[in-house]
């Protein structure tokens, strides 16, 4: 007689399940594919409507903000509105459950995504290596901005960013733009996490943006079992021990259920 736990386990490739079940420390690295299943456009897919004639590089750099802060601010406010209208998917929820329900394992999540869907699902996130849309700060003195921000009205291409309450300069989104360094503390935390992990799950990332894309190879060199969960082949597929061709929302609930139910 099979149980519900047996049914869930049968959905997971045996090498993946064996590796994750035996791990004491798991590092989960998530990318845009994770949030895309919640309806959040990937960075390049966000170039629609009024913004079709701009490349992401034209809108995501310090030079672009200096040149036209109202245009850049409007684009990022539009992205923030899309995130606010989205909800965590089953993959986000499963990871949050894993952190709560697996006392024998340490599960650390690091993400390239600038949304808050992991947190809204209930997860503790070790690091947002590319920053977050919510962390608005001054573009000059870097003072955090806690005041209200206006939404972008339909059809509007520009909106003036609020002024910093400390120095009066325009505020900016708290994301990492092209040409900017990653936040040191967050990057150090992620590097330490993959170095200490027994298993590293690479979920929904294309593996083309460095230095994040170098983490699977770093983890493998440190002795971790590296597992990719992605419906498509990526630039990091050949760096992994196991590949599971599935979406985050389709795979993680089965994996987490099989792992946590074994520990009860």
* Cα distance between residue 262 and residue 264, in whole Å: 6
User: Is 241 among the residues known to form the active site?
Assistant: no
Q: Determine which one of 92, 128, 130, 242 is catalytic.
A: 130
Residues 101, 107 contacting (CB under 8 angstroms): no
| Assigned token pair, 189 | 């935390």
Residue ranges of the binding site for substrate: 76, 79
| Angle 166-167-173 from CA coordinates, rounded to 5° | 85
Residue ranges of the binding site for NAD(+): 112-115, 204-206, 230-232, 248
Residue ranges of the binding site for Zn(2+): 138, 141, 164, 167
β strands within the chain, DSSP E = 25-30, 106-111, 125-128, 131-138, 171-175, 199-203, 225-229, 242-244
Helix axes 248-263, 90-101, angle to 10 degrees: 20
* Cα distance between residue 47 and residue 54, in whole Å: 7
Residue ranges of the binding site: 76, 79, 112-115, 138, 141, 164, 167, 204-206, 230-232, 248
Active site residues: 130
């Amino acid at each position: 007689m099979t149980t519900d736990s047996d049914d869930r386990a049968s959905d997971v490739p045996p090498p993946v399940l064996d590796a994750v079940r035996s791990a004491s420390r798991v590092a989960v690295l998530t990318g845009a594919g994770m949030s895309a299943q919640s309806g959040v456009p990937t960075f390049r897919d966000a170039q629609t409507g009024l913004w079709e004639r701009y490349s992401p590089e034209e809108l995501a750099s310090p030079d672009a903000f200096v040149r036209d802060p109202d245009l850049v601010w409007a684009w990022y406010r539009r992205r923030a509105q899309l995130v606010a209208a989205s909800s965590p998917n089953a993959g986000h929820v499963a990871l949050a459950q894993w952190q709560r329900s697996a006392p024998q394992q340490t599960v650390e999540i690091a993400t390239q995504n600038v949304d808050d869907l992991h947190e809204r699902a209930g997860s503790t996130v070790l690091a947002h290596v590319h920053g977050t849309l919510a962390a608005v700060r001054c573009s000059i003195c870097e003072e955090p901005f806690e005041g209200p921000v206006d939404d972008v009205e339909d059809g509007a291409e520009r909106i003036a960013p609020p002024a910093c309450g400390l120095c009066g300069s325009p505020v900016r989104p708290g994301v990492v733009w092209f040409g900017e360094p990653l936040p040191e503390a967050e990057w150090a935390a992620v590097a330490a996490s993959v170095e200490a992990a027994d298993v590293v799950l690479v979920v929904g990332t294309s593996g083309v943006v460095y230095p994040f894309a170098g983490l699977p190879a770093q983890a493998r060199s440190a002795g971790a079992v590296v597992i990719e969960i992605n419906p498509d082949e990526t630039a990091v597929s050949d760096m992994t021990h196991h590949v599971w061709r599935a979406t985050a929302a389709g795979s993680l609930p089965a994996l987490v259920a099989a792992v946590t139910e074994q520990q009860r």
